[in-house]
């Protein structure tokens, strides 16, 4: 009887505690309680989704751009369950948020959702001694201290220079596949380019990241188990289900098994097993173990994983900064995302933009054809000025990841560059936020704001980079006067990898082919799930980009 009483008392205590947590949560989202209650902003259209469904239906950043014009650079909107979220286009405020990465961290809900894709890498860890590396093109992330990162040569110019031949190896393989298809189509062929670019970048990150062969471009070969596991994790099926939303916000619902959850667990188990084998191989190889499996690639020991392991085994590295094997293993799925979906999507958007501007496409092709080799070095690629500004303009206008979210870890006062007016007509020179307040980081909206880039901000115009607007110099991005690679302590250290990989793909494809849209541009809509992809309106199929591809007549 005593045991039953004790059990009942314990159960009542847990239930009371749970009820108190729920009550506190509802109080915390009350408009009267929120520290952001004084800000202007749109009315919520849904108790559950707030303004989020409006944002999703409007496109990648169009609604945010409209709001910034209507309500000013500092405003709020509603997120899940009525939570107020700060939205600011003030560059000084954004600089404060991004440079105080310990004070403004990724929300727990976002970390949980990312952990379902990437496991327990640093992308889902928010600890002061760790550095997260995030960007729009890639999502490189390492469970490293900033000191360890600075010692790690994996993403430095010399390492990327050695990996550049890998980029061209696969770019040329893709070129030859498309060339065969176009020739079979008597000089012209409609090709769904996104899936092919995705195969190519998967092969590239497999070799450049781990010296691992996915052979994704070999369509006659059954995908290997790592390829299948990765495809499972990126499959959008079930990603927007109600149970997934509840699991993100309320941990108790994570005890409920789902088919999607089982698939993710099996995929992560497969990735971990393969990653453990790759890690053992690298450590044995670096230590000179004669029994270790011989590596056969032409870039032996130069992949990112090898560089990471070498850096971590450096005898001069303090033990407090040394990663355990668990930390290294956590990077495998993150590296895959980093060098795969985002880069292929960004390259696709560049071809999409060029297909609508044949004049720009011709001008770029002329520059590329002046190069005497099919496999230029990294320095030769970087020395092509028009290719550089085309890539810059693509990243500005079509940032693959349109935004990210941060949450205030304590009460804070955020400075602003320009005073703003609240909903009561009062002028402020700073933003007061409270612990737990969400903050929207508008990557794409800031990249496309007319206040910085002028009335043609929504147009694809590489020539704008000949005279960079003064306001762009205040954008707190790590590269190119834009937010695509973020800024501050969590800016992307992998941006060089992404830029050179994209340039190698464009260099190879544009020297051989001409591109046109195969469908009316108004039939293409954008949807964001991790990255922004194109879909055909009214069709239930997956993401796709249909382009007419024909061989370029070099004598024309």
pLDDT in tens, 252-307: 777 777 887 788 878 888 888 888 888 888 888 777 765 555 554 555 677 888 88
10 pLDDT more than 50: no
Question: Does the pLDDT value for residue 74 go beyond 70?
Answer: yes
Mean pLDDT of the 492-506 span: 91
Asked whether the predicted pLDDT for residue 22 surpasses 70, the reply is no
Residue 389 CA to its chain's centroid (Å): 21
Q: Using 50, 70 and 90 to split pLDDT, how confident is the model at 325?
A: confident
**How far is the C-alpha of 251 from the C-alpha of 246, rounded, in Å?**
8
pLDDT at residue 230 in the model: 72
Nearest to 230 by CA among 207, 252, 208, 198: 198
Nearest Cα to Cα of residue 90 among 449, 410, 424 = 449
- pLDDT, mean of residues 88-92: 97
Give the separation between CA 55 and CA 173, rounded to whole angstroms.
39
C-alpha distance from residue 462 to each of 54, 330, 396, 492, 495 (Å): 31, 38, 10, 23, 20
Average pLDDT of every residue of the chain: 82
The annotation places the binding site for heme at 492
Two structure tokens written together for 102 = 């310990």
List pLDDT tens digits, range 160-169.
999 999 999 9
Token duo for residue 221:
């070969």
Alpha-carbon torsion angle 387, 390, 394, 397, nearest 10? 160
Tell me what pLDDT residue 278 has.
85
pLDDT category at 115 given cuts 50, 70, 90 is low
Task: Check if the beta carbon of residue 87 is closer than 8 Å to that of residue 76.
Answer: yes
In b/e form, how buried is each residue of 433-452, taking b as 16+ CB within 10 angstroms? beebbbbbbbbbbbbbbeeb
| Statement: residue 138 has pLDDT above 60 | no
At residue 236, the pLDDT reads 55
Beta-strand pair 84-88/438-441: parallel
Bridge-based pairing state of the strands 427-433 and 412-421: antiparallel
Distance CA 432, CA 82 (A): 19
Query: Who wins on pLDDT, 3 or 471?
Result: 471
- The answer to whether residue 30 scores a pLDDT higher than 80 is no
Q: Are 445 and 91 in contact (CB under 8 A)?
A: no
Distance CA 209, CA 501 (A): 13
Q: Rounded to whole angstroms, what are the CA distances from 235 to 239, 341, 423?
A: 8, 12, 42
Ordered by start, the domain boundaries in the chain are 1-30, 119-403+442-551
What CATH number does the domain located at 119-403+442-551 have?
1.10.630.10
pTM for the model? 0.86
DSSP state letter for 141 = -
């Amino acid at each position: 009887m005593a045991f039953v009483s004790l059990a009942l008392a314990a159960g009542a205590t847990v239930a009371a505690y749970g009820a108190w947590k729920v009550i506190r949560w509802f109080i915390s989202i009350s408009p009267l309680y929120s520290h952001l209650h004084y800000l202007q902003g749109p009315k919520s259209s849904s108790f559950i989704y707030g303004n989020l469904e409006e944002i999703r239906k409007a496109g990648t950043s169009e609604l945010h751009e409209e709001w910034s014009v209507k309500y000013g650079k500092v405003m709020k909107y509603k997120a899940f369950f009525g939570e107020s979220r700060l939205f600011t286009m003030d560059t000084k405020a954004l600089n404060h948020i991004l440079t105080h990465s310990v004070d403004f961290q990724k929300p727990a809900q976002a970390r949980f959702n990312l952990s379902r894709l990437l496991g327990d890498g640093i992308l889902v860890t928010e600890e002061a001694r760790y550095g997260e590396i995030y960007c729009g093109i890639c999502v490189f992330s390492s469970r490293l201290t900033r000191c360890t990162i600075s010692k790690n040569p994996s993403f430095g110019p010399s390492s990327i220079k050695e990996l550049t031949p890998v980029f061209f190896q696969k770019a040329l393989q893709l070129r030859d596949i498309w060339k065969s298809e176009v020739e079979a189509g008597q000089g012209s062929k409609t090709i769904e380019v996104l899936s092919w670019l995705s195969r190519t970048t998967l092969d590239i990150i497999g070799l450049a990241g781990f010296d691992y062969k996915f052979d994704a471009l070999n369509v006659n070969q059954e995908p290997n188990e790592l390829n299948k596991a990765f495809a499972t994790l990126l499959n959008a099926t079930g990603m927007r289900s109600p149970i997934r939303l509840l699991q993100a916000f309320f941990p108790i619902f994570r005890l409920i098994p789902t088919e999607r959850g089982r698939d993710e667990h099996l995929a992560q188990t497969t990735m971990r097993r393969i990653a453990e084998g790759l890690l053992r191989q690298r450590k044995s190889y670096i230590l000179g173990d004669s029994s270790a499996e011989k590596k056969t690639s032409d870039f032996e020991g130069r992949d990112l994983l090898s560089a990471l392991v070498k850096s971590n085994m450096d005898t001069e590295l303090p033990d407090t900064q040394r990663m355990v094997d668990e930390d290294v293993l956590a990077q495998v799925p993150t590296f895959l995302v980093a060098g795969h979906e985002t880069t292929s999507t960004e390259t696709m958007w560049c071809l999409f933009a060029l297909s609508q501007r044949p004049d720009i496409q011709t001008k770029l092709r002329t520059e590329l054809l002046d190069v005497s080799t099919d496999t230029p070095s990294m320095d030769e690629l970087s020395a092509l000025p028009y290719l550089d500004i085309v890539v810059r303009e693509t990243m500005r206008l079509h940032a693959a990841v349109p935004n990210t979210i941060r949450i205030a870890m304590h009460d804070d006062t955020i400075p602003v560059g320009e005073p703003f007016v609240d909903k009561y007509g009062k002028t402020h020179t700073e933003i007061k936020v409270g612990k737990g307040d969400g903050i929207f980081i508008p990557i794409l909206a800031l990249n496309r704001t007319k206040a910085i880039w002028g009335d043609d901000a929504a147009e694809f115009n590489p020539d704008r980079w000949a005279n960079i607007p003064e306001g762009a110099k205040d954008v707190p991005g790590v590269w190119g006067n834009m937010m695509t690679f973020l800024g501050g302590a969590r800016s992307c250290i992998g941006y060089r990898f992404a830029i050179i990989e994209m340039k190698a793909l464009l260099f190879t494809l544009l020297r051989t082919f001409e591109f046109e849209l195969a469908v009316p541009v108004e039939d293409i809509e954008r949807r964001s799930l991790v990255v922004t992809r194109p879909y055909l309106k009214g069709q239930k199929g997956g993401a796709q980009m249909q382009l007419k591809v024909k061989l370029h007549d070099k004598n024309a």
